[in-house]
A and B are shown apart, each in its own frame.
Chain A
């Protein structure tokens, strides 16, 4: 197989890895780098459990080749909390019990953080459409939406 040497930045750290040309960024994160926060749900870009930021854009890491990350900046759920201090979204998700099994949660958090950075005052409809690509089979979404709306209100007040 052809291997590619990649130098990239993940959660602010300079990282180097070797990957197969057909290996996805998701597989690199999970299997090579031990960053198992991003999950594989569908592997086809439908469920959003593997959501990460790539150069400031929300993407499914299952639809990115590991080789494509050369010289890019990747942000994953592992970089969301500041040490022991949870991001406001993470705290609100706990407070609202906006998760059950937790498989979708890292992807939902990454996606909602991206939304609130772009739009600090979204309507409920905007939140629901933004998260249309993050499937959750447990919560029925309402608690997630409430947690996001509540976080947005808090962060605007801060």
Chain B
């Protein structure tokens, strides 16, 4: 196994595209090193992105924030601007693992690891986040966060492509977001169900826009339009929240495993989505 730590995105992409065998990208390493040790992956090449200065940055852009691929959860939490604008996203990232894991783990790594239970992903999709992807021959493209993971451990990234940043857009006024997950303990566990909600109110407190997402209940994150539709046009009152919960439960397509049964996960999908919507509503000033 070769280890390379290039200093530019161009060089990183060239290394990945030029590798005949298997290559893996190293950001925080909190998933990759576990997979290496367990023998799940035996790459011929590891490309460490942490020597690329630009990928450590959080920059303001169009009223929102662009967050580099190697910004750790701890660094994100310490950024007052992002935490104020998208608290749900920051909370979701900070739910990943321990303090030690937060010192290394990244949002982009959480996305590209493509676990169906990834905590950061439902929150990012609820926030309408996009990613910037660099590929061979200087090709760059933007994509919706929800289009990156395609199934457990699988992404839509092509050979040689890396995700270099996540963009969280400007938040309209009277907007709020939240992410909640269910785990059978208080800390250090993998989501049994995760729910992200982002919503916007008008001056009269009527919901004009909403996005509701679920994690850990399908092969990839679900954007539940029926649940969002239950909120739009309402004051996000009890009746609207009941409809949202029913829509979320109906949309969930979970598996049975040791962490929860299908039936339990479907029910909890509604509960988590409803509670997340209540927090998002409060943050929107409703």
A residues with a Cβ closer than 8 A to B are 1-2, 4, 21-22, 24, 43-46, 48, 51, 54, 57-60, 62-65, 67-68, 70, 111, 114-115, 129-134
Question: CB-CB < 8 A to A131: which residues of B?
Answer: 99
Quote the shortest CB–CB distance from B56 to chain A (angstroms): 11
- B17 on interface, CB distance cutoff 8 Å: no
Give CA–CA (A114, B277) in the complex, Å.
Answer: 35
Main secondary structure of the interface of A (DSSP, over half): mixed
21 contacts between A and B (CB under 8 A): A4-B3, A44-B34, A45-B34, A46-B98, A58-B103, A59-B104, A60-B100, A62-B33, A62-B37, A63-B100, A64-B104, A65-B48, A67-B48, A68-B29, A111-B99, A111-B100, A130-B99, A131-B99, A132-B98, A133-B99, A133-B188
B101 interface residue per 8 A CB criterion: yes
Whether B141 is near chain A, meaning CB under 8 Å from some CB there, is no
**B contacts, CB < 8 Å to A:** 1-3, 5, 26, 29-30, 33-34, 36-38, 46, 48, 50, 72, 74, 97-101, 103-104, 187-188
CB-nearest residue of chain B to A64: B29
CA distance A109 to B216 in the complex (A): 35
Contacts of B3 in A (CB 8 A): 2, 4, 21, 65, 67
**Assembly CA distance A43 to B38 (angstroms):** 10
Contact B33 A24 (CB under 8 A): yes
- CB pair A59–B26 under 8 Å, yes or no, is no
Contacts of A4 in B (CB 8 A): 3
| CB-defined contacts of A64 to chain B, threshold 8 Å | 29, 33, 104
In the docked arrangement, what's the CA distance between A51 and B97, Å? 14
Asked if A68 and B1 sit within 8 Å, CB to CB, the answer is no
Contact among A43, A63, A129, A134 for B104, CB-based, below 8 A: A63
Docked pose: A93 CA to B11 CA in angstroms: 48
The reply to whether A65 and B72 form a contact with Cβ atoms under 8 Å apart is: no
Q: Given A63-B34, A64-B29: A2 and B101 within 8 A (CB)? A: no
Contacts of A63 in B (CB 8 A): 29-30, 33-34, 100-101, 104
B5 near A70: Cβ-Cβ < 8 Å: yes
Q: Which residues of A contact B103 (CB under 8 A)?
A: 54, 57-59
Neighbour of A132 across the interface among B1, B2, B34, B188, CB < 8 A? B188
Decide if B46 touches A21 in the complex (CB within 8 Å).
Answer: yes
A43 to B30, CA, bound (A): 11
Name the residue in B38, B46, B50 with the highest tally of chain A Cβ atoms < 10 Å from its Cβ.
Answer: B46
Residues of B within 8 A of A70 (CB): 5
Q: Are A22 and B29 in contact (CB under 8 A)?
A: no
Give bound CA distance, A51 to B36, whole Å.
19
Asked if residues A58 and B30 are in contact (CB atoms below 8 Å), the reply is: no
Listed from nearest, the 9 A-B pairs whose CB atoms lie closest are: A133-B98, A57-B103, A21-B3, A132-B187, A59-B103, A60-B100, A63-B33, A67-B3, A44-B34
Chain B residues, CB < 8 A from A111: 99-100
Closest-CB distance, B41 to chain A (whole angstroms): 11
Chain A residue with minimal CB distance to B74?
A: A57
Hey, which chain B residues are within 8 Å of A22, CB to CB? 1, 36
In Å, the complex CA distance between A141 and B37 comes to 29
Residues of A within 8 A of B104 (CB): 57, 59-60, 63-64
Q: Is the CB of A51 within 8 A of B100?
A: yes
